Structure 1
């Protein structure tokens, strides 16, 4: 009887190492040599377990989007059925749950999507789901507001949230958190008019 396959374990090891590399060096700077060093595997084994560079980038995008979606779904499950928007704004802007490594990876994937149709589709879908979910939550609390208004506010909330996250590497999140929350509340208040 042969020994059990280590493919799943090694693939996860490589993806974790690739995520750390991308956070540090960006996609272009995350060479197979750096990845091999970070993962503790030979370069040939890295390729054996994850395939070529395109395969590796796609696996990373799938991993990041899948984990992000799972966390987002958990948050959505915690929202009350009524008056969900104030709780949502608190979740988005009161807590420092930012993961600087993940933020860098998402930024790198979004930047690279301009040159990779698969990445572009994946990151567009991820962004559109987020904004669409925000619009749905807004509809629950503000059913009389027009769809156009709710969509605009959803986009504004997403923009504020993602921009606040982008300030993590600059160590400016705490400085602008209260302003981002106030801006988000102001956007939502426009739906009452």
Structure 2
């Protein structure tokens, strides 16, 4: 009986190591040598598991997009069980519910590289569009008298505030910033 393939597992482990390196060194600084060392594999195995550098970047982009899409699906499920904007903000800005800071930093690194890799833009934009759509759906449900334009604007504002919070995680920003950003999001929801 043949041994089961370890390729899916090793590919995930290498992508995780790649995300760590991108978070630590940026996309250009996440060299194959650094990724291999972080993953505990020899450099030539990177090509076996993920392909050349461009294919690795594409795989990381998909990995990051999938992770954010999964988080958005979880959020959508939670939002079906709540009824107020304050409850939404409790979920988004909970002290103990930070997104893996490597994920947010990898997102930023990939976004910043779109000039050199335009193919990265579409999956990242689709992720943002899904997140905003989930927020819009919830806000429209809990604020049925609000116009669609106002709901869309508030959803965009909350998403931008939320993503700013995640981007600050790597900086170890003062804890009062989380409170202030949540208050800014609350002010937006109050306009509905």
Does the TM-score normalized on the shorter chain lie above 0.5?
yes
Task: Indicate how the Cα distance of structure 1 residues 173 and 73 shifts in structure 2: closer, same or farther if over 3 A, else same.
Answer: farther
TM value normalised by structure 1: 0.91
**Cα shift readout 1:120-147 (whole Å, capped 9, x = no counterpart):** 0011111111111111111001121111
Following the alignment from structure 2 to structure 1, what is the Cα–Cα distance between the partners of residues 21 and 46? 14
Instruction: Structure 2: state its 5+ residue gaps.
Output: none
Task: Indicate how the Cα distance of structure 1 residues 41 and 149 shifts in structure 2: closer, same or farther if over 3 A, else same.
Answer: same
**Cα shift readout 1:13-38 (whole Å, capped 9, x = no counterpart):** 21111111111111100111111211
Give the C-alpha shift of residue 84 in structure 1: 4.0
- Aligned-residue Cα RMSD (Å) equals 1.7
Task: Indicate how the Cα distance of structure 1 residues 40 and 19 shifts in structure 2: closer, same or farther if over 3 A, else same.
Answer: same
Q: Tell me what 1:109 maps to.
A: 110
Give the C-alpha shift of residue 167 in structure 1: 1.3
**Cα shift readout 1:96-137 (whole Å, capped 9, x = no counterpart):** 422222121111111112332221001111111111111111
Alignment of 1:142-153 (within 5 A): 142-153=143-154
Q: Tell me what 2:95 maps to.
A: 95
Between 174-183 and 3-12, the greater mean CA deviation after superposition: 3-12
Task: Indicate how the Cα distance of structure 1 residues 95 and 42 shifts in structure 2: closer, same or farther if over 3 A, else same.
Answer: same
SS in 1 for 2:114: helix
Q: Tell me what 1:128 maps to.
A: 129
SS in 2 for 1:101: helix
Following the alignment from structure 1 to structure 2, what is the Cα–Cα distance between the partners of residues 181 and 35? 36
The 8 Å contact of residues 61 and 110 in structure 2, kept in 1 or not, is answered as yes
Q: Tell me what 1:167 maps to.
A: 168
SS in 2 for 1:64: helix
Give the C-alpha shift of residue 154 in structure 1: 0.6
Give yes or no for the alignment of 1:45 onto 2:41: no
Q: Tell me what 2:191 maps to.
A: 190
Following the alignment from structure 2 to structure 1, what is the Cα–Cα distance between the partners of residues 90 and 11? 36
Give the C-alpha shift of residue 56 in structure 1: 0.9
Following the alignment from structure 1 to structure 2, what is the Cα–Cα distance between the partners of residues 44 and 82? 50
Give the C-alpha shift of residue 43 in structure 1: 1.4
Give the aligned length.
191
Give yes or no for the alignment of 1:181 onto 2:176: no
Q: Tell me what 2:57 maps to.
A: 57
